[in-house]
Amino acid sequence: MSTDTAKTADVRRPDWITEELLSDLVSRVPSSTGASWKLTEVYSGEVLVALPQSSPADVERAAAEGRAAQRKWAATPLPQRLAVFRRAHELILRNQHKIADLIQAESGKARRIAFEEVCDPPMVISHYLKRAPKLLRDKKRPGVMPVLSSSIERHPPRGLVGIIAPWNFPFATGLSDAIPALMAGNAVLLKPDNKTALSPLYGISLLEEAGLPKGLFQVVCGEGPDVGPTMMDNVDYAMFTGSTATGRVIGEQAGRNLIGACLELGGKNPMIVLDDADIDETVGGSMFAVFGNTGQICMHIERIYIPEAMYDEFRDKFVAAVEGMRIEAAYAFGPDLGALVSPDHLARVQSHVEDAVAKGATVLTGGKARPDIGPTFFEPTILEGTTKEMLHGVTETFGPVVSLHRYSTLEEAIELANDTDYGLNASVWTTDFKRAQAVAARIESGNVNINDGLATAYASKSTPSGGMKQSGVGARHGDQGLLKYTETQNVATLKKQVMGPQGKQTFDDYAKQMQMSLRWMRKLGIR
């Protein structure tokens, strides 16, 4: 990355982000011990606010308060519950730029991705405003005995839903995962990451302004090992987004407690360029697929497979495009890349690049931290010659780093794409959509984007989105994205006692009658 494409900006936080505002937001977090965590502005490294840290006892009290509020909320008619979210939809859009300011302050991401993150909860609200009435109403089903019996399928709320949100999309995951749970009649206990608690706290204040009862949406803060186990012991369902290692811990505790859990975990996401792809369009689309949110997206692309005959042209155009990216600290649209979330994460990304180079990989562009721009900036980086002996070859780097690979046959490309323990997202580029569908069907991934990197799948709110293999269990979005927050109850009615021999009928005669009835019901399509 040449110095003329980077700029040290005079970063000034928006004036509306005052000490008073920040103190008011964090006052929502219970902390009986007085412990706090220094939440910093990523661009500058300056402390924004002392974030209260919750103790296990604080978590238990928050869970109890949430449950108390949930009983009344669950008894509220669904149309009244949904009316809250109609108002919230407008409030979020009206405050979109303010929310983006907070997201940038706490995460350091570029303005475009912060703005687009704020679009996610309104999209989720809009989708479930349409679907919730149908999904949550009682449904009459046929009973075991035609005419004489019936069954009703009901979906009451689970009670208290625990959501553990990651730092890379704090507002989107903190609110979007909570919205269907709340619509279904649950209370929510949210644990955001310490680094990025401000935007979800602000979002909760907007939900309450829209009419969500106070106490229904609880927040606790603290390091995972300090508050996570107590949280899991006090909720009826868990929604977790984060690393596969932590997901295993969450899943194990959910299993011991016999509660449901949805886990969206890590990825080592591949992109396959087919031999008929438009190279210029593919290079352009790859920029966001790889470097969106500075590579800190669970679904972002870290491996690109290119046909041998196209490799040199793709590589040269891709390198040129990346070297033209603008990397800067700014609370405004313009920069293509923002910062990494923390010094610790920068060290992780840098270690993956250094490990790859030490073991023989070549840096085509980038590869360095940029302290001249800010404490956690890292250049967009392209590697060549990455192998499975390297950290970046097999594990999730979660930064602005991608490896290019050649392939000879499509069979080889599919095999390489699937050669991973992960299966969250994949991308296929071609001008032949029928061919693309055939390739997608062979990729072991919960999401496959054709002629896009990741956004098309994730933004399709009507379709479930989840991971295969070590990338998760369950899904968000689609009908199951709401129904997972409900129990399933079967209320069956028998109008007359006909189950068993009637009168003087022998059991042998009853058995013959049952066999005949089953055959006729099958022929008539009744059973």
Q: How far is CA 178 from the centre of its chain?
A: 12
Strands 401-407 and 301-307: parallel
Using the predicted structure, report yes or no on whether residue 349 has a pLDDT greater than 50.
yes
Q: Fill in the DSSP letter of residue 55.
A: -
pLDDT in tens, 158-202: 999 999 999 999 999 999 999 999 999 999 999 999 999 999 999
356 phi, psi to nearest 5 deg: -65, -45
Contact assessment for residue 172 and residue 264, using Cβ atoms and an 8 Å cutoff: no
What percent of the chain has a predicted confidence (pLDDT) above 70?
98
Question: Would you state the pLDDT for residue 58?
Answer: 98
Instruction: Tell me which of 426 and 499 has the higher pLDDT.
Output: 426
Mean pLDDT of 224-230: 96
Q: Mean per-residue pLDDT for 272-290?
A: 98
In the chain, CATH 3.40.605.10 covers 19-265+480-484
Write out the two tokens for 451: 């002629």
Residue 480: the pLDDT is: 97
Position 8 pLDDT exceeds 70: no
CATH homologous superfamily for the domain 19-265+480-484: Aldehyde Dehydrogenase; Chain A, domain 1 (3.40.605.10)
Residue 146 has a pLDDT of: 84
Tokens of 119: 């679009």
**Superfamily name and number for 269-460:** Aldehyde Dehydrogenase; Chain A, domain 2 (3.40.309.10)
Work out the average pLDDT over 12-24: 97
What 3 state SS string does 241-256 have?
ECCHHHHHHHHHHHHH
As annotated, the residues of the chain forming the CATH 3.40.309.10 domain(s) are 269-460
Categorize the per-residue pLDDT at 527 as very low, low, confident or very high, splitting at 50, 70 and 90. Answer: low
| Lowest mean pLDDT across 186-195, 272-281, 497-506 | 497-506
| pLDDT reading at 9 higher than 90 | no
Q: Residue 498 — pLDDT band, cuts 50, 70, 90?
A: confident
Average of pLDDT values for 480-501?
Answer: 94
Mark 362-380 as b/e (b = at least 16 C-beta within 10 Å).
ebbbbbebbeebbbbbbbb
Q: How far apart are CA 20 and CA 199, in angstroms?
A: 15
Residue 61 has pLDDT above 80, yes or no: yes
Which of helix, strand or coil describes residue 169?
Answer: coil
3-state secondary structure of 126: helix
- pLDDT band at residue 10 under the 50/70/90 scheme: low
Catalytic residue list: 264
* Average pLDDT score, the chain: 96
Q: What's the confidence (pLDDT) of residue 159? A: 98
Query: What pLDDT was estimated at residue 473?
Result: 97
The residues, ordered by sequence, that sit 6+ positions from 264 with a Cβ below 8 Å of its Cβ are: 240, 241, 242, 298, 424, 466, 467, 471, 472, 474, 476
Percentage helix, strand, coil for the chain under 3-state DSSP, each rounded to 5: 45, 20, 35
Place of tokens 């940029």: 370
H-run or E-run covering 182: helix 178-183
What are the residues whose beta carbons fall under 8 Å from the beta carbon of 295, sequence distance 6 or more? 302, 349, 380, 397, 398, 399, 400, 401, 402
Mean pLDDT of 359-372: 98
Cα 339 to chain centroid, rounded = 20
Q: pLDDT digits over 62-76, tens only?
A: 999 999 999 999 999
> What pLDDT does residue 522 have?
87
pLDDT confidence tier of residue 2, bands split at 50, 70 and 90: very low
- In Å, how far from its chain's centre is CA 220? 19
Structure confidence at residue 503 (pLDDT): 87
**Average pLDDT rounded to a whole number, residues 86-91:** 98
pLDDT reading at 324 higher than 60: yes
pTM: 0.95
Q: Which residue has the tokens 């194990």?
A: 252
pLDDT over 80 at 404, yes or no: yes
C-beta of residue 451 within 8 angstroms of C-beta of residue 429:
yes
pLDDT for the residue 144: 86
Amino acid at 323: E
Q: Confidence band (pLDDT; 50, 70, 90) for 520?
A: confident
Query: Distances from the Cα of 171 to the Cαs of 102, 167, 236, in angstroms?
Result: 9, 9, 23
